[in-house]
Amino acid sequence: MFRIEAAELFVVRLPLKFRFETSFGVQTEKVVPLLILKGEGLEGVAEGVMELAPMYREETIAGALHLLRDVFLPRVLGRTFANPEAVNDALGTFRGNRMARAMVEMAAWDLWARTLGVPLGSLLGGRKTEVEVGVSLGIQADEAATVETVRQHVAQGYRRIKLKIKPGWDVQPVRAVREAFADIRLTVDANSAYTLADTARLRALDNYNLTYIEQPLAWDDLVDHAELQRRLNTPLCLDESVASAQDARKGLALGAGGVVNIKVGRVGGHAEARRVHDVAQAFGAPVWCGGMLESGIGRAHNIHLSTLPGFTLPGDTSSASRYWETDVIHEALEAEDGLMPVPAGPGTGVTLNREFVSRVAELHEERRA
């Protein structure tokens, strides 16, 4: 049992150390919403993965803040819960808005794990003390720059290289990288930039021994992905189009892909992420943990989720120092030779750098029962 007595909301803006280009556009900073749930002298912290504009999926930071203030937090503040699943039940009558709900659920998992004095990963059913990680590389200026960026990250030991692609920038960088690195584990991510009319272009990627092609078609589509998969030899990986375990079941049953990217925020929290993991295992489909340029809070949650046994492909949880001059946590989350240690200690094992967060916060609010 644990009690949620109060909550804090922060919104901070963190400049990225590099220019990150995808099919959505160019990103140079990340706006990070943080939720802290308090109870019994302890705190559980979660990070929202929604964005200012509805580019990746339909949720936005402004909408999430409204729901947290006026709808979700009033349902949980001042209440005692048996476990985080009961927190989910308290929010279960509301449709959609999984990223906003995930903030409450993930903070509850962290708080509950801290009250029990055990690591979050252990509560979820994980057993690993380190997880394999890869790196996600944005669109570069040209092929030479792409190869050089890949070279730097291969030298750092990352166990999978993912290239962002879009129409007009797909076969060229993949060919250049594969010619330079014949044996690396290589994938591409389209972020829904293609249609079935681009089948010939996507089929050309079959020549480059990719582990998978991630989310080439529409963010809310499974049927066309199934048709595309029938036309390709390379497995498709479902990302944006899987928002629940039911979506994963339908997509795998349809043959819409053979790999699933699990993002805990996208699917509504750890409980649903674990259900997606279990569905994928039932179909024999490997899963891996995707990233949304998270700060250390979201990154730590991702690492603990990745300790579950079905996460057999390297995830996006690369070293935090790639992204930020100063992170929102005190601990350094750094990979070595493509392995990320699981933070030790209760809950996520990381602690919020309150001095830094308070200093740079664009919004800070407190709520009590």
What is the longest distance spanned by two Cα atoms in the chain?
60
Compute the distance between CA of residue 204 and CA of residue 229 in angstroms, rounded to an integer: 13
Q: Could you tell me how far CA 228 lies from the centroid of its own chain? A: 25
Q: Are strands 25-39 and 6-22 parallel, antiparallel or unpaired?
A: antiparallel
In whole angstroms, how far apart are CA 52 and each of 48, 213, 294? 11, 27, 14
Q: Is 162 a catalytic site residue?
A: no
Choosing from 30, 38, 162, 164, the catalytic residue is 164
In sequence order, the β-bridge partners of residue 38 are 6, 43
d(CA 122, CA 2): 18
- CA separation (Å) from 339 to 219, 331, 347? 30, 16, 20
- Residue 369's contacts (CB-CB under 8 Å, 6 or more residues apart) are 4, 5, 6, 77, 78, 79
Task: Please check whether residue 320 is in contact with residue 296, taking contact to mean a CB–CB distance below 8 angstroms.
Answer: yes
Is 17 marked active-site? no
Q: Tell me which DSSP letter residue 72 carries.
A: I
Other CB atoms within a 10 A radius of the CB of residue 276 amount to: 28
* C-alpha–C-alpha distance, residues 355 and 150, integer Å: 36
Q: How far apart are CA 46 and CA 44, in angstroms?
A: 7
Q: How far apart are CA 352 and CA 325, in angstroms?
A: 16
Catalytic positions, please? 164, 263
